[in-house]
Amino acid sequence: MPLDAHHVRASIAVSDIARAVAFYEGKLGLRALESGPSAHIADGSRVYGSGGGPALNVYESATAGTTAATLATWYVDDLDQVVDELVSSGVEFTRYDQFEHDAKGITARAGGGRIAWFQDPDGNTFALEADA
């Protein structure tokens, strides 16, 4: 059975689920679809919806923040507006030395379009991308 017939969601390790809830719900405005245990931690995980379905599984783990890679990307129509809204809720955008960023932290994306990165409190990296 091919995997392309099934939904997939990103799993994000965090060191403190309460702090993560404050960020993902309070700053990003994500809605928790369900909560549950994470290994031996009661109520240590959340599944967040995005784009009409489950998108992120956030769970408490000792492996939190151990990768510098981008873990998930939101594709948006109006990148400037989304960046402005997130900045107003306290999200800080990451700037990388190898790219030229505008005042908002947005840079050109390889192949066209624009991209901006931000991190959660554990240093997990996320991106916002737009075709224009």
Q: How confident is the model at residue 1 (pLDDT cuts 50, 70, 90)?
A: low
Q: What is each CA distance from 25 to 34, 66, 84, 86, in whole angstroms?
A: 13, 22, 17, 12
User: What CATH number has the domain bearing residue 29?
Assistant: 3.10.180.10
The sign of the dihedral angle between the CA atoms of 106, 109, 114, 120 is: negative
Residue 131 token pair: 């075709």
- Tally of structural domains, the chain: 1
Rounded to an integer, what distance in angstroms lies between the CA atom of residue 96 and that of residue 118? 11
The parent domain of residue 126 ranges over: 3-130
Average pLDDT estimate for 83-107: 97
Position 24 pLDDT exceeds 70: yes
Average pLDDT estimate for 78-90: 97
